[in-house]
Structure 1
């Protein structure tokens, strides 16, 4: 038996809770920005993914007009900091609705480090930082999708092996439904089957 839910006949928050509990796990873009006045902002956004590889473009969605979005529109740049498990409490704390003009870096006590190519700082303890210049934005209802061209990536050598980030060393956090968060758990590997081999095996 299924429960049918028509978004046209469901309140916005109710369908939001259904979507965010179903589309899981979601990686977290821990976005640092700097306002035109010079205040550094840091906030987690869990509607986040890769848009393009050549050129490298990532995207996140601002649900509503948050400081991250306003700062990016004003200055044209931002940093996506990787959200690792050891920083769980600090990441959650930066989701607090601090007033505009208050820096989450300072309020939460998160160390900065300068970026190489953009104005906003990186999170010093984050193992990977993607420095981005604004590519474009798309408004969809109450949300704005932000596309950023990655102009520099800074990766902690400790999470690398053979030139590749090791997921168990990265220890990524993910958002689930309600106030739930996910950690990496079991890692499984399986290779894709080329069609030629698929045909041979089925013959």
Structure 2
């Protein structure tokens, strides 16, 4: 089948777009408002975009609390979601009044960033401390605002759970990072395999 995205004329019970662009890592964004309140929210429109310097992005459909906070303070964290934290991550996606703490709602230990004034999840196997580089609202082809806000941050510091390190690497079987697959589906990466990049002369 083929369909044009204008009007979402796919004829299916559910839009397949998010399932097609998957798996997507989950950025568990920790932020603090100017008033001192804290926020923790999962974003599946999230990824690394550069290694030198280390940079990540997340995109919010609408100017939600995370975007408000990073606009006010210029910093955020992102905590890695392993399989054992999946249910708690899901709890933090619940709509809550601004200023209420998702850390408290999900019973999560909150740790304070060392380099940025933003909280992260203490039980996460890894967490990134980030300073905002840019925030912008992409426009559609016709020039209208998309209503989504893209936040790009440079990673200043990284927290690693030493129990998740094996043979000098972050052990994916231990970490089992969670990914969003579209619809209400998730998967973890506990069942991993390795492929070496081929040489130019490979046949």
Judge same fold: TM > 0.5, yes or no. Answer: yes
Residue in structure 2 matched with residue 167 of structure 1 by the alignment: 172
Q: Scaled by the length of structure 1, what TM-score is found?
A: 0.90
Q: Give how far 1:32 is off.
A: 0.4
Partner SS for 2:118: coil
Q: Give how far 1:71 is off.
A: 0.3
Structure 1: 5+ residue runs without aligned partners? Answer: none
Residue in structure 2 matched with residue 49 of structure 1 by the alignment: 47
Q: Give how far 1:185 is off.
A: 4.8
Residues in 1 aligned to 2:167 and 2:120: alpha-carbon distance in whole angstroms: 25
What is the root-mean-square deviation in Å for CA atoms of aligned residues? Answer: 1.7
Answer yes or no: is 1:139 the counterpart of 2:137. yes
CA contact (8 A) 2:177 2:190 kept: no
Which runs of structure 1 show a deviation greater than 6 angstroms over 4 or more consecutive aligned residues? none
- Structure 1 residues 171 and 185: alpha-carbon distance in aligned structure 2, compared to 1, 3 A threshold: closer
Residues in 2 aligned to 1:114 and 1:169: alpha-carbon distance in whole angstroms: 24
1:145-164 to 2 correspondences below 5 Å: 145-164=150-169
CA contact (8 A) 2:108 2:121 kept: yes
Partner SS for 1:72: helix
Residues in 2 aligned to 1:17 and 1:30: alpha-carbon distance in whole angstroms: 24
Residues in 2 aligned to 1:48 and 1:174: alpha-carbon distance in whole angstroms: 11
Q: Give how far 1:102 is off.
A: 0.9
Residue in structure 2 matched with residue 24 of structure 1 by the alignment: 22
1:1-203 to 2 correspondences below 5 Å: 2=1, 4-10=2-8, 17-140=15-138, 141-195=146-200, 197-198=201-202, 201=203
Residues in 2 aligned to 1:17 and 1:172: alpha-carbon distance in whole angstroms: 25
Tell me which moved more, 62-71 or 105-114.
105-114
Higher helix share: 1
Residues in 1 aligned to 2:17 and 2:74: alpha-carbon distance in whole angstroms: 30
CA contact (8 A) 1:17 1:177 kept: no
Aligned length: 194
Partner SS for 1:91: helix
Partner SS for 2:135: strand
Structure 2: 5+ residue runs without aligned partners? Answer: 139-145
Residues in 2 aligned to 1:143 and 1:153: alpha-carbon distance in whole angstroms: 27
Q: Give how far 1:162 is off.
A: 3.0
Summarize deviations over 1:58-80 as a string: whole Å, max 9, x none: 11111111101110000000001
Q: Give how far 1:163 is off.
A: 2.5
Summarize deviations over 1:5-41 as a string: whole Å, max 9, x none: 2121228xx8x93211111111100000001101110
Residues in 2 aligned to 1:188 and 1:160: alpha-carbon distance in whole angstroms: 17
Q: Give how far 1:150 is off.
A: 0.3
